[in-house]
Copies of this chain bind each other. A is one copy, B any other.
Amino acid sequence: MKKLINDPQDVVREALEGMAAAHPDLIRVNMEPRYVVRADAPVQGKVAIVSGGGSGHEPMHGGFVGYGMLDAACPGEVFTSPTPDQMYEASKAVHGGAGVLHIVKNYSGDVMNFEMAADMVRAEGIQVESVVIDDDVAVENSTYTQGRRGVGTTVLAEKICGAAAEAGYDLRRVADLCRKVNGWGRSMGMALTPCTVPHVGTPSFELGENEMEIGIGIHGEPGRRREALRPADEIVEMLLEPILQDLPFRQGDDVLLFVNSMGGTPLIELYVAYRKAAQVLARHGIRVVRSLVGPYITSLEMAGMSITLLKMDDELVRLWDAPVLTPALKWGAAPAPAAGSGGAA
């Protein structure tokens, strides 16, 4: 295991300390229990958005905390669900009087623990809505999942719902929007290499020198099939075909095209794949109106990629374009807070 770490048991804590040190203008890190909140939390009068899940998928979710995206993120140990008390304390810390939305990836531990946390938060008289993301078309059930796994659409839902909350949507509207994004997003991934959980020390699965896994999960869960490595263009077709059929996406649709690195695949390869994906979509008469290319929902150092397509309308485009100021996604400028708004850091 060749990693830039110290004691494998300390990786998550030390990485959180690094995030806190690197981004004091954007986030604060609480260590007991562990959660990341935006520096100006709680924002009075705004719906608070909380997400979380196992670590090892960085920048998701801690890197998405800040203006225009998440109010809090709860990191578990690597590939392990965070606990209900993390979600409960984080929700209370960011609640600004307008309720809390939990965005939950569909893994059994995350779903169960977020349900317990939601009950605990509601018992304090705070309104909570939960939306489960299940956008991975690869398989119907998986190692840690009943139904479909939650993957790339999570990143897009967190950005879009974060902008909606910032724009003043109430809790019901933000939750409905999140369900709409989940309903309109589809993903599929593949791996060239496995990854190694630090405290395990050996790869989570094996792949031959000339093999790839099509439909891989973000924890290395089995996909649809294992087969011989093929050119990038063929792999893109193999990922896009089930995505396009599933919704189904149609001629005339506008979409956001998200090509994501599993962690170890460099940007030059993502752009090779993006090129082909754009060509395939053009052939189908589908118009790419926004893009995202890079490592945003990763699996440690796994080499591979996932493709996410999100159908877009004017509302989603407007919310996607809205300012966001987080460690990992950043564009536009936050408006100066009005006097007495309570939103200033």
What is A's interface to B at a CB cutoff of 8 Å?
Answer: 2-7, 11-12, 14-19, 21-23, 55-56, 58-59, 63, 78, 192-193, 209, 212, 229, 231-233, 235, 257, 259, 263-276, 278, 288, 291, 293, 295, 298, 300-301, 303-305, 323, 325, 327, 330-333
Contacts and interface: CB of A to CB of B under 8 A. Distances in A.
B232 A272 contact: no
A192 B333 contact: no
A266 B58 contact: yes
Contacts of A209: 2
Nearest to A7: B231
Q: Which of A5, A15, A268, A291 has the most CB of B within 10 A?
A: A268
A contact face: mostly helix, strand, loop, or mixed? mixed
A58 B267 contact: yes
Contacts of A276: 14, 18
This protein's copies in its complex: 2
A192 B12 CA distance: 20
A6 B268 CA distance: 12
Nearest to A278: B21
Contacts of A269: 3-5, 11, 15
A232 B4 contact: yes
15 contacts: A4-B273, A4-B304, A5-B231, A5-B232, A6-B232, A6-B272, A11-B272, A14-B271, A14-B276, A15-B269, A16-B271, A58-B266, A59-B267, A330-B331, A332-B333
A323 B58 CA distance: 25
B330 A274 contact: no
A308 to B, nearest CB: 14
Contact of A2 (B5, B229, B233, B295): B229
A247 to B, nearest CB: 22
B330 A272 contact: no
Contact of A298 (B5, B267, B291): B267
Contacts of A327: 293
